[in-house]
Amino acid sequence: MPTITRFEDIEAWQTARELTNLVYIMTGHGEIARDFGLCNQMRRASVSIMSNIAEGFESRTNSLFLEYLERAKASAGELRAQNYVAKDAGYLNDRDFHKLFELCEKCSRQIAGFIRYLEQKPKAISDEGIEYNV
């Protein structure tokens, strides 16, 4: 059973990092890059997923960690909705739309699973570090 001792160990964070990289690549060129509002919002939503997972992990309490995970999951939903806007505006082809959609859903499922785990197995967090056996 793996132990999580840093936020970088969390699978959902790793997926969020991959997702953020993909968003930056997809929004870095073409018409979408010229749509500053949508481009910026998609980038901010993807970064929010990563950041909330990391910030929650470092918050030192399970209740705060759960709140941050819920925010991260909400940001994944926001990015999924923005993906539709980008597709409907003609900025993304079907392949890119589906690639981004699937990665958003994967990340959202991973966050939801981690939330369920933490709710079922609450653990006090000490100043000596955080360890979750998953």
For residue range 17-37, list pLDDT tens digits in order. Answer: 999 999 999 999 999 999 999
pLDDT, position 123: 61
Q: Flag whether the pTM goes above 0.75.
A: yes
User: Which of 32-36, 116-120, 130-134 ranks highest by mean pLDDT?
Assistant: 32-36
Give the pLDDT band of residue 60 (cuts 50, 70, 90).
confident
For CA atoms 28, 30, 34, 39, give the dihedral sign. negative
- The dihedral over CA atoms of 81, 85, 88, 91, expressed in degrees to the nearest 10, equals -120
**88, burial (CB in 10 Å: exposed 0-12, middle 13-18, buried 19+):** exposed
Give the pLDDT band of residue 131 (cuts 50, 70, 90).
low
Listed by start position, the domains of the chain span: 3-133
Q: What is the CATH number of domain 3-133?
A: 1.20.1440.60
Q: pLDDT at residue 108 above 50?
A: yes
**Average pLDDT value for the chain:** 91
Closest CA to 38 of 88, 107, 73, 74: 88
Q: pLDDT at residue 134 above 60?
A: no
Provide the β-strand partners of residue 133.
3
